[in-house]
Amino acid sequence: MIERKTILTVENLYKQFQVRLGAFGENKGTVHAVDGVDFDILRGETLGLVGESGCGKSTVGYTILQLYRATSGKIWYDGKDLTQLSDKQLRPLRQKIQMIFQDPYSTLNPRMTIGEALAEPILEHQTVPEKEVIPRVVELLGDAGLSSKCMDRYPHEFSGGQRQRICIVRALACNPEFIVCDEPISALDVSVQAQIINLLQDLQEKYNLTYLFIAHDLSVVKHISNRVAVMYLGKMAELGPKDLIFNNPMHPYTKALLQAIPIPNPHIEKSRTRELLTGDIPSALNPPAGCHFHTRCSHATDLCSQETPRWKQLPDGRMIACHLAVE
Amino acid sequence: MTLNTEMQMPPTQINPLEEDTNTKPFSIWQDSFGRMMKNKLVVISLVLIIILLFMAIFGPYITPYDYLAQDLTKRNESPSAMHWLGTDQLGRDVFSRVIYGARTASLVSLLVVFLSSLIGLVVGSIAGYVGGKVDFVLMWITDLIMAFPYLILGVVISVSLRPPLTEWMEDRFLATGNPIFRQTSFVDVFIVIIVITSTAWPPYARLVRSQVMMVRGQNYVTAARALGLSQMKIVRKYIIPNSIGPVIVQMSAGLGSAMLTESALSFLGIGIRPPIPSWGNMIQDGLLVWRTAPHLLVAPAVVLGLMTVAFSFLGDGLNDALNPKQWK
Ligand SMILES: Nc1ncnc2c1ncn2[C@@H]1O[C@H](COP(=O)(O)OP(=O)(O)O)[C@@H](O)[C@H]1O
Ligand SMILES: [Mg+2]
């Protein structure tokens, strides 16, 4: 593996939402969306972040971009703790960190032409001189596989896949180095998903990008990631190089997720032993004590229900939070 | 990266011209306009409205008679070739007065709609964008005013504002000698605008608030924040353009209802007072003699009714045309 430098470090990150419950909002509750998460992202890599829906993946992404303000914890980027910066101090840094959203249909302003939408980030951060704005927009459209004629069109004239390509190059327009991709293909037709993945990979190569690639589907992450992080109910379960996670998972939750992927070969598919996930994911309003996963884990012991497992490194390089894993 | 995975990705095939060969560039506004013109009622309404505006602007210059010119030898005459809509109790030409009434109605309703949508835009966007306690207080005030009957408010404002304003005008006239301060009708128009505006803005505020709340939850606003755009830019380029559609619809209907309210106030004698013609005070005059000279009642009433309906149809048409759900 190539030695890479860290680009962004997330340290003990918590994000809670105060919500009102009941028909009349008579009760208050706290959603523990992100419940103490540590990881770093290496320059030039794609870190895949997987977990069931509602486990806090998007919240991690939004908090990194300071679209949500963290309840506590630090996010180190370029020697600065983003959580401590004011909106104004963040503005120049926003050029460097961008996001691609799940739903391309609502990510483009319906009242702005594609040309305006692509020029906006360039003008805002003045990444090129004024007279080169249009050539740059044309270049970006080319990156998205669209002709320069699209500049005067409105988003509603494009298909979902085309819109997501536009969103991707728009995120690139201000020359960022790090992009959070929040399930960029899950709202799209299967037939165009591969296109988007390939586009993301081509652009990563062309512009030296670093991705945090969020997905609930391990197979997508397997294709695109260098390292994979698995999240469960606001906490990290396991993080490591892709091959290690896919070929030798150690966290029972990772194992269960992997075994949920069907294998194309029916013989292997039939003969393999399964660690199925039973029961529903507990509510983030009231996460279980100890290891959050113990209510669904077939190996859970008394310790698991009492004590939160440490986030520790194993000799093979992976990080894991499980009492059963030996250091 | 090598493809040694189970999931094989087919090679990228992005045809630059895929799906985008048959549509030609057009703007959303042009598109909406084209769709609106397909509705006949809307077109008729639009024609009526254009005639109204034409009358309001040029009417007094093209009418055959002065709207104040009395001819006491020809009172309450029926429509004839000389007086298309007959004459009133003082022998004035009703046609000329109806046309001048269009000026009164348009002036009042345009200013009312402008002011009340402006207030509504400010109050509603602050409430919707800031939320929390600010929202609660602003909406509480809005609802309070919305529940207040405009006629009572009209009487109160009219009674308390008219004497001091009239006095002020007289003082100014004596001090400056400028004849503009003799125009007491300015006081009437001013009071009518204040009365109607103070009860007309709450629906705009509610509408703008709900639009802003809906729009600000959209991903494109989040993406704009992620870009580092300032709040002002986000409001100007994202929130307002995307929430303005229904407000325009409301403004159109609001023009009609402001005309109706102005007429109602003038009818009751707390709005525009004679001799300045307003459809409302003409209807009131007509009511006294409706048995002998029904045209005095019918002429302004029909014009008022037509205009109110026209604005409401135009509002419906705009509603259909601007509704984003109808975009393909
Ligand atoms: N703005 C919010 N207000 C309240 N709760 C929220 C908000 N955003 C997310 N949540 C809650 O936080 C948890 C994590 O959500 P999210 O990060 O969207 O999950 P994921 O992206 O993994 O599906 C969920 O329980 C969700 O309901
Ligand atoms: Mg999500």
The CATH number that applies at residue B119 is: 1.10.3720.10
Categorize the per-residue pLDDT at A2 as very low, low, confident or very high, splitting at 50, 70 and 90: low
Model confidence pLDDT, tens digit, residues A8-51: 999 999 999 998 887 776 788 899 999 999 999 999 999 999 99
| Average pLDDT for B80-102 | 80
Contact list, B237 vs chain A (CB under 8 Å): 109, 112, 120
Q: Which domain holds residue B97?
A: 44-59+82-326
Q: List the beta bridge partners of residue A13.
A: A37
Categorize the per-residue pLDDT at B60 as very low, low, confident or very high, splitting at 50, 70 and 90: confident
DSSP-based three-state secondary structure for A276:
coil
CA of B290 to the centre of ligand 2 (A): 70
Instruction: Give the Cα separation of B113 and B201 in Å (integer).
Output: 8
Instruction: Determine, yes or no, domain membership for B180.
Output: yes
Categorize the per-residue pLDDT at B1 as very low, low, confident or very high, splitting at 50, 70 and 90: very low
Q: Is the CB of A204 under 6 A from ligand 1?
A: no
Measured from the Cα of A15, ligand 1's closest atom is: 12
Q: What is the gyration radius of the CA atoms in chain A, in angstroms?
A: 21
The single residue listed with the structure tokens 């040309």 is A115
* B26 → chain A, closest CA residue: A153
| Average pLDDT for B55-77 | 78
Give the residue from A59, A53, A57, A52 showing the smallest Cα distance to A257: A52
Q: What does the block give as tokens for B118? A: 């402006």
Q: What is the pLDDT of residue B17?
A: 41
- Model confidence at A247: pLDDT above 50: yes
How many angstroms separate the CA of residue B164 from the nearest CA in chain A? 48
CA of A53 to the centre of ligand 2 (A): 6
- B108-112 long-range Cβ contacts below 8 angstroms, 24+ apart: B108/B189, B108/B192, B108/B193, B108/B196, B108/B258, B108/B259, B108/B262, B108/B272, B109/B254, B109/B255, B109/B256, B109/B258, B109/B259, B109/B262, B110/B255, B111/B193, B111/B197, B112/B193, B112/B196, B112/B197, B112/B200, B112/B254, B112/B258, B112/B262
Model confidence pLDDT, tens digit, residues B13-29: 444 444 443 344 445 56
* A199 → chain B, closest CA residue: B12
**Which residue type sits at B86?**
G
Name which residue sits closest to atom 26 of ligand 1, judged by CA: A54
**Which residue type sits at A254?**
T
| Average pLDDT for B286-313 | 87
Q: What does the block give as tokens for A327? A: 């250091």
Bond into B25 cis (ω within 30): no
Instruction: Determine, yes or no, domain membership for B118.
Output: yes
Instruction: Determine, yes or no, domain membership for B30.
Output: no
Instruction: Determine, yes or no, domain membership for B130.
Output: yes
Please give the model's pTM, rounded to 2 decimal places: 0.78
Model confidence pLDDT, tens digit, residues B208-254: 999 989 888 889 999 999 999 988 899 888 988 888 888 888 999 89
Q: What is the pLDDT of residue B315?
A: 86
Instruction: Determine, yes or no, domain membership for B20.
Output: no
Measured from the Cα of A53, ligand 1's closest atom is: 23
Instruction: Determine, yes or no, domain membership for B235.
Output: yes
Characterize the bridge pairing of strands A235-241 and A227-232: antiparallel
- Model confidence at B7: pLDDT above 60: no
Percent of chain A with pLDDT over 70: 95
Give the residue from B299, B296, B272, B298 showing the smallest Cα distance to B286: B296
Instruction: Determine, yes or no, domain membership for B38.
Output: no
How many angstroms separate the CA of residue A262 from the nearest CA in chain B? 10
Instruction: Determine, yes or no, domain membership for B16.
Output: no
Rounded to whole angstroms, what are the CA distances from A299 to A249, A277, A295, B174? 15, 12, 10, 98
Model confidence pLDDT, tens digit, residues A217-239: 888 898 899 999 999 999 999 99
Q: What is the pLDDT of residue B328?
A: 40
Model confidence pLDDT, tens digit, residues A46-78: 999 999 999 999 999 999 999 999 999 999 998
The single residue listed with the structure tokens 């000698």 is B177
The mean predicted confidence, pLDDT, of chain B is 82
What are phi and psi for residue A266, nearest 5 degrees? -65, -30
Ligand (nearest to CA of A49): 1
Q: Cβ separation of B222 and A101 shorter than 8 Å?
A: yes
Instruction: Give the Cα separation of A147 and A220 in Å (integer).
Output: 28
Output DSSP code: residue A45.
-
Contact yes or no for A256/A322 (Cβ under 8 A): no
Q: Is the CB of A284 under 6 A from ligand 1?
A: yes
- Model confidence at B59: pLDDT above 90: no
Q: Cβ separation of A109 and B27 shorter than 8 Å?
A: no
Contact list, B219 vs chain A (CB under 8 Å): 101, 103, 106-107
Based on the structure, what is the number of domains in chain B? 1
